[in-house]
Amino acid sequence: MAVKLNHKALTHARKLIKNGKVERDVRDDWSEHAPSTDDENAFIEKHGFAEFAQWHLGRDGDESDGTKGSVSFPFGDFKKVHRCAVVSLESRAGQHGHDEIRDAAKKLLELMDSD
């Protein structure tokens, strides 16, 4: 899997955090707070795939562009960055050797926690 850091998404996440668009939930909340498949599809239909991709820190160059399989490591609900999502993705990225994504997530957490 050729997952790389999605720099546009990282910029988007930083902007959201700096603008106070953060849900300060706890680690295990992401399974309940993550958008459903229907929510994702509705967002893509309304805003397009490029906007959807900006909510994911991972991009997989081996997958077809414009497909859900081409993005990974979601960090929010299309309104706010969820702390629980960033904690979760930091852990998963580290477990799977995606060090650049793990390090970016760690910096996002630091930015969230500095407010």
11-68 confidence digits (pLDDT tens):
999 999 999 999 998 778 888 999 999 999 999 999 999 999 999 999 998 999 899 9
Structural domain of 88: 3-113
Q: In angstroms, rounded to a whole number, what is the distance separating the alpha carbons of residues 71 and 35?
A: 14
Domain total in the chain: 1
Q: Which residues contact 28 (CB under 8 A, 6 or more apart)?
A: 84
pTM: predicted TM-score of the whole model, two decimal places = 0.94
Q: Which residue has the tokens 């992401």?
A: 30
Q: In angstroms, rounded to a whole number, what is the distance separating the alpha carbons of residues 9 and 25?
A: 20
